[in-house]
Amino acid sequence: MKFLLVLLVLIAGVWFTQKGIPWIFKGILRLVGIRWKSSPLAEKRIRRFKSIRRGYYSFVIITSLFTTSLFLEVLVNDKPVMIRYGDQVSYPAVRDLTNTWCFFMEGPLTTFDRSEDFGIPGQGPLDYTEFARLVENPEAAFGPIVEKQKSDISDLEMEIEDVRLEIEEYEADGEEPEDWLIEDLAAAEKQVVQLREGLEQLASIEKVFLDGNVGVVWPLYRHGPYKNRLDLPGTAPHDPSLYIPGLTPVRQDAMLGEQVEMEYGGRQGMRITSGMGSGDRSPLSADTKFYALKPSTDSGPVEVAGIVIVRKVSEDGLSGEVEILSITPGETLTTGLNLSTRFLETWEAPLGTSDAGIDVLPLLAYGFRVSVGFSLMVLVAGYLVGILAGAIMGYYGGWTDILLQRFIEIWGSVPFLFLIMIVASIVDPGFWVLVIFLVILRSWMAITYQIRGEFYREKARDYVQAAIGSGVSDMTVMMRHILPNSMVPVISRAPFSFVNYISSLVSLDFLGFGLPPTDPSWGRLLNQGFQFLTTSPHLVFLPVLAMATTLFLVVLIGEAVREAFDPKVFSRLR
Amino acid sequence: MSGMWTYFARRLILVPITFLVITFMVYAVLRVTPGGPIEQLENQMRAAAAQEGGGGSGGLGGTDVGLDEKAREELRAYYNLDQPIPIAYLQWLGVYPRKDRTPVTLKEREADPEFWNRVEAAWVQFRESENAYEAALQNSGAEFRGAALLVEAKEAEPGEEMFFQRAGKLLSEGLDSRGRLNQHLDSRGWQLSGARFMRPVSDTELSENSTLATLVRLAVDKDQAFEKLNEILAEQDKEASRRGSYYNVEIGFSGILQGDFGRSFTYNEDALDVITQKFPISIYFGLIGYLATWLICIPLGIGKAVHHRGLFDTSTSVLVFLGYATPGFVACLLLLVLLGGGTYWNVVPLGGFRSEGWGLWWEQGEYWRCIKDQVHHTLVPMFGYLVGSFASMTVLMKNSLLENFGADYVRTAFAKGLPEGRVIYVHALRNSLIPITAGIGHFLGIIFAGSFLIEKVCNIPGMGLLGYESIIRRDYPIILATLVFGVLIRLTGNILSDFIWAAIDPRIRFK
């Protein structure tokens, strides 16, 4: 089911990117009144590009993934897309976005969800998982509370009855009943009234839940890149729970000892000892959840027989007592079972968690968006500045050209990583500061020389001279006449620059001088992998895999673009 | 030819200009940004005080651990931070005279015992007066802030009730209104010390209250004693600091032009010495990486060009694309995870230049073990350098060879009936190696300065790691020294490249 949904989202992403966006773009152009027409030469180049399969498919994949990633908030998030309680509807997943972009709006979009508005007493923010639990199974959730309230009321009523009897005894004896008895009676009666009111309220809330007037819509993946996974047992970083036999290392930390009679909230208890399987007798700690592992019959992957939580640890820390939280139906926990903090095939955190306990899967997904968005910004801004500078140099020539050339030579030698590191060791640069830094210090120079050369050459052509002769302004000549004819180097270089900027961002984040520490980024994940080099290889493998795949696809696009726009024909004579 | 000489002359003239611009930029950025050596020192003192648990902080008055105004001033002078940025920059360059302070060594002191006895006496006098002053200060409950003597305002004086009340109200509002409180107090020259209001002492109080008067006198005494000490020292061009060290003071030109890069704050050594120690390590790894790149990329590029669009070309293209997609340091990380002995295989050590006992083994004559160890440590960084320039080098080689295949002289050679091998490997290859040979200059920077990232990942104590750590520790002299060498090497390397190109390829003409 979930896989189908994911597939559906991806297909929708591809369709929207390849068909929808061009359609919207053309629609807007038509509305504005510009008729889009492409030159036959450009058409031919695009056709040639499409004929190079690997490049074209990479293009489709990257662009579709990026547009899909723009909707990550409703796809991968720890907040539900929508919650409903009676008339109260709210969209927590996109609240941050609406707060940022629709700050002028009042009402439900700008506030947080208060618990009491959604049927849970209290003024604090709503616990979405708790709410979802209520929605899922209201009877089970409300039953015990109602029972408790009811028994409280009957207890109180019995007490009241006793007190009444006592007072009546006093009165029968013709004495004044003592003051405190009357006070007690009044207080108890008041409390009963309150409890009954509470019960009624609870009943009305329960009715809303039972009638199905509530709803919660979760994103496809229920964990976000900012919240740490406190629900997972053990300590971060957690290994991935994608179990690949033979490749995924299994860490065995403890073993179940004999069964003993213990009372933990009426549940069964067991005694455990530490480190029997692995040889390293690592001490146990209280409140660690373990997965009881049972080797399957044909020595294949290990199965989870149950989950236990450590309640008591002996003084030497090498043995303890556990409470059994859950047992796989039809299983019993027996002596000699291995316990592990790994989750095997439970898919709790398929890609593991980072050192702060944040789920890696959302980190990678949001990191993709940040990296690609960042590089796009740097690319576009840098190329705009670069084209302008190159155009001015090539078009005007003379002293302008020479001075700018010298300036670029000097500016190009500034060790930019060095400078960014110095500045970033003082202030945490945000996304935009980093973009501006990279544009000013480095990226605009990449294209300037080629554009200069193109303009230099094109300016001498007849059509440009004719345009100049007919009195068109310099700016128009540059932008309208020359520029469209000198875009080839720009387009064929862009993908490779793009690769460079992603690498730059990853390097900066790796060194700790990039985006703020809370932002999801591949480089920071890599840095954590570097710190946990020997214990958590997934923190290196996963970001590297994500980065290398992305860059590989972009390089494929780049090769195809170069092939299509700027084909080099090598004559082979033999 | 003359055109080319002017071209290179122009490039060479541009080197100093570029150098000046870059160094000035970095110098200014370093000076403007907070977190300099003095703040680092204070942070250290604070951390040390926090470790002691706040107990027994004798001379450091109460809660406000840190340097007092005068000591800070002295330190600023010592680190040359008291000059305006342009002048300090010129002094650093060595074209503007500066006061140069070097610590007085024990030997110097033994050489002239008579003079130093006098100095010692003056120092003891200063310390005594300082101790007396501090004791008086602790008894009085007063405080010096700069030149102003402050005492606690316990209750409102007539005419000050409103002022006092408002201050008390602001104080009780907590940290949020601390800014407003300070403003309020400032308007009358008052200050906040902990939760006490300190007000300046009036002249009448000073004349009436004998403790305060003594305190002021002691403060003056202390400063006079220090001045006297410095007067004695000035006879031999020396200075003392309040923290108990003596300096030789010379006024003269002393900057990087004179080879004086300053003393490293963290290593407490001459910056130049620190850097020259690191140079060989970076060169070793850079050179080996560069050689490996040559050995692999050139044959690969030739093969790809010869089998252009063939099976070999297409299949190795995947490698080239992967090379583009993987930065060198990431490749190192991957290798370390796989081979570093963590989860998978234990083949290579987790970084470092050599094992700990290397020198000992060498002395004991275990040469084979030394070599093996060195190779082990070299593998991962070498691979990193290789991956870093693998793609561009291979593609450069391939394209350059392909271009030559299309040239007329190759056609002629074929037409003459020469065997294919001879045409490719003798005629065409010789010319297509030119751009790669000329690239040596560009690689100089990497060879000498190392790669920040690879050296950090592989924990190689070379230039790159030094530069990185000096930035983190804000070790100005080292930061600037690595910058100077890095920039110079890169600038000259670029020119060298062009020069080599022009020298070996007579067709190239720079204008």
Average pLDDT across each block of 10 residues of chain B; the chain has 511 residues. List them in order: 76 86 87 77 75 46 55 76 85 81 74 77 81 78 69 69 76 73 76 72 70 76 80 75 74 80 82 87 87 91 87 89 90 87 75 75 79 84 89 89 86 87 86 83 73 86 87 84 86 84 76 60
HSE (side-chain half, CA atoms, 13 Å) at A520? 28
Angstrom distance (rounded) from CA A494 to CA A558: 8
Query: Quick check: A57 pLDDT over 80?
Result: yes
Question: How far apart are the CA of A501 and the nearest CA of chain B, in angstroms?
Answer: 11
Beta bridge partners, A255, equal: A273, A338
Nearest-by-Cβ selection for A570 from B402, B457, B474 = B402
What's residue B60's pLDDT?
Answer: 39
Beta-bridge mates of residue B218:
none
Residues 527-546 of A with CB under 8 A from B: 529-530, 533-535, 537, 540-541, 544
Inter-chain residue contact A418 with B420, CB threshold 8 Å = no
Q: Indicate whether A296 pLDDT > 70.
A: no
Cβ–Cβ pairs < 8 A, chains A and B: 137
Predicted confidence at residue A376, as pLDDT, reads 93
Q: Is B334 near chain A, with CB under 8 Å?
A: yes
Chain A CB contacts of B33 under 8 Å are: 422-423, 426
Whether the Cβ atoms of residue B65 and residue B49 lie closer than 8 Å to each other: yes
pLDDT at A260: 64
Instruction: Tell me the mean pLDDT in the region A506-526.
Output: 88
The reply to whether residue A572 touches residue B405, judged by beta carbons under 8 angstroms, is yes
Which of A470, A486, A488 lies closest to A478, judged by CA?
A486
d(CA A279, CA A267): 31
* Residues B41 and B75: beta-carbon distance below 8 Å: yes
With residues binned 3-state (H G I as helix, E B as strand, rest as coil), the percentages for chain B, rounded to 5, are: 70, 5, 25
Round to whole Å and give the CA distance between B259 and B256: 5
pLDDT of A574 reads 47
Contact: A574, B457; criterion CB under 8 Å: no
Q: How many CB atoms lie within 10 A of CB A65?
A: 19
pLDDT at A547: 93
Nearest to B347 by CA among B355, B356, B359, B338: B338
- Tokens found for residue B362: 């060498």
Closest alpha carbon to B153 in B184, B190, B206: B190
Helix (H) or strand (E) holding A83: strand A82-85
Alpha-carbon span B174 to A281, nearest angstrom: 50
Per-residue model confidence (pLDDT) at position B59: 38
Nearest residue, CB atoms, A413 vs list B406, B467, B491: B491
Tell me the C-alpha distance between B262 and B273, whole Å.
10
CB contact under 8 A, B343 and A249: yes
Task: Indicate the Cα dihedral angle A3, A9, A12, A14, nearest 10°.
Answer: -90
Tokens of B283: 């060169």
Q: B277 or A35: whose pLDDT is higher?
A: B277
**Which of B334, B350, B453 is the closest to A507 by Cβ?**
B453
> Under DSSP, is residue B70 helix (H, G, I), strand (E, B) or coil?
helix
**Contacts with A, B 412-431, CB within 8 Å:** 414, 420
More confident residue, B66 or A285: A285
CB contact under 8 A, A506 and B330: yes
**Chain A contact set for B456 (CB, 8 A):** 511
Does residue A470 belong to the interface with chain B, where contact is any CB pair within 8 Å?
A: no
For residue B327, which phi and psi values (nearest 5 degrees)?
-65, 155
Chain A closest CA to B386's CA: distance in Å?
A: 17
Q: How far is B50 from chain A (nearest CA, A)?
A: 23
pLDDT of A232 reads 65
Query: Are A349 and A528 a contacting pair, CB within 8 Å?
Result: no
User: Hey, what are B466's tokens?
Assistant: 């030094």
pTM score over 0.95: no
Mean pLDDT across chain A = 80
| pLDDT of the residue at B56 | 40
Least confident of A28-32, A199-203, A458-462, B155-159: B155-159
Q: Is residue A313 a contact partner of residue A285, using CB atoms and an 8 Å limit? A: yes
Q: Would the CB atoms of A425 and B471 count as touching at under 8 Å?
A: yes
Whether B474 contacts chain A with CB within 8 A: yes
Please give the CATH number for the structural domain made up of A360-570: 1.10.3720.10
A573 and chain B: CB distance < 8 Å anywhere?
yes
pLDDT band at A386 (very low <50, low <70, confident <90, very high): very high
Domain boundaries, chain A: 1-101, 115-217, 254-327, 360-570
Give CA–CA dist A394/A398, Å, rounded. 9
pLDDT at A498: 92
Which of A48-57, A164-173, A352-361, B71-80 is the least confident region? B71-80
Per the CB < 8 Å rule, is B337 touching A529? Answer: yes
Interface list for B 50-89 with A (CB within 8 A) = none
- Residues from chain A that touch B327, judged by Cβ atoms under 8 A, are 503, 506-507
Q: What is the pLDDT of residue A264?
A: 54
pLDDT of residue A107: 56
Better pLDDT: B287 or A275? B287
The pLDDT of residue A363: 92
Q: A424 — contact with chain B (CB < 8 Å)?
A: no
Look at residues A372, A343, A364 and name the one whose alpha carbon lies nearest to residue A503. Answer: A372
Pair of tokens at residue B358: 């290397």
**Separation CA A192–CA A155 (nearest Å):** 10
Q: Which segment of A239-253, A489-503, B196-210, B452-466 scores lowest on mean pLDDT?
A: A239-253
**Residue percentage of chain A with pLDDT more than 90:** 13
Q: A428: distance to nearest CA of chain B, Å?
A: 13
B342 with A537: Cβ contact below 8 A: yes
Nearest CA-CA distance, residue B321 and chain A, Å: 6
Q: Which of A375, A533, A551 to mutate to test the interface with B (most CBs of B within 10 A)?
A: A533
ipTM of the modeled complex: 0.75
CA A535 vs CA A38, A245, A355, B214, B329: distances in Å: 55, 18, 11, 66, 19
Let me know: does B329 contact B458? Beta carbons within 8 Å. no
Angle, helices A416-424 vs A488-511, to 10°: value is: 40
The answer to whether the CB atoms of A568 and B399 lie below 8 A apart is yes
Q: Do A510 and B329 touch (CB under 8 A)?
A: yes
Q: A261 versus B452: which is more confidently predicted?
A: B452
Chain B: give the shortest CA distance to residue A391, in Å.
21
SS3 assignment, position A272: strand
Pick the residue of B343, B456, B469, B482 with the most A CBs within 10 A to test the interface with A by mutation.
B343
Residue A261 has pLDDT above 70, yes or no: no
- Give the gap in angstroms from C-alpha A18 to the nearest C-alpha of chain B: 25
Q: Which of B10, B337, B423 to mutate to test the interface with A (most CBs of A within 10 A)?
A: B337
- Give the pLDDT of residue B63: 43
Report the distance separating Cα B44 and Cα B38, nearest Å. Answer: 10
pLDDT attached to residue A479: 83
Q: Tell me the chain B residues in contact with residue A541 when contact means C-beta distances shorter than 8 Å.
A: 334, 337
- So what's the pLDDT on residue B117? 79
Cβ proximity of B480 and B487 under 8 Å:
no
